[in-house]
Amino acid sequence: MSEGPRNFAGTPDAFERLWTPHRMVYIGGENKPDDDRAESCPFCAIPARSDEDGLIVARGETAFVVLNLYPYNPGHLLVCPYRHVPNYTDLEAAERAEFGELTAHAIRALAAASHPSGFNTGMNQGEIAGAGIAGHLHQHVVPRWQGDSNFFPIVAQTKALPQVLGDTRDLVAAAWERTC
């Protein structure tokens, strides 16, 4: 019998496997713009969709809150200005104020929806700083639980998520309304 890779599936060994082929979209860069133009920016396109289709949790006057399509944890939210700007310092005073208020409300809604033990919040400005979409500012709000991180992200660049995005959006959107 050949030892080629096609013969490994189903062959008993010491490894458990979590197949996540849907992650290949992210790894391959699908939906990631090749440039920083607003015309190719997914964050500029999302507000034209319905809340359910765009995974939008809440809309403000100058910014909106959306689920991350490639979350680190269930409930990973992004706060995005409607305006296509790359840096926090590019926001006008009213945009900065609403950006901050939506971030605070996102934390309250996630706390009500899923009772995390803590949060990571932050933004990566510029590709060199880790921004996946550097042309459009966005702040991450990531709920954290004790033990939510294991060897998968380090060893296999894989994160196991127990809830599908649509269900997560519905749960957080309902909590958002209750925490207004």
pLDDT digits (tens, 9 = 90+) for 118-161: 999 999 998 888 888 899 999 999 999 887 765 555 445 666 66
What pLDDT sits at residue 137? 96
Query: Distance between CA atoms of 148 and 72, rounded to whole angstroms?
Result: 10
Tens digit of each residue's pLDDT (9 = 90 or more) over 67-103: 998 888 889 999 999 999 999 999 999 999 999 999 9
Q: What is the pLDDT of residue 15?
A: 57
Q: How far apart are the C-alpha atoms of 64 and 78, rounded to whole Å?
A: 8
| 76 part of the active site | no
Q: Which of 123, 114, 61 is nearest to 86 (CA)?
A: 123
pLDDT in tens, 159-177: 666 678 888 888 889 999 8
Q: Which of 76, 105, 136, 138 is catalytic?
A: 138
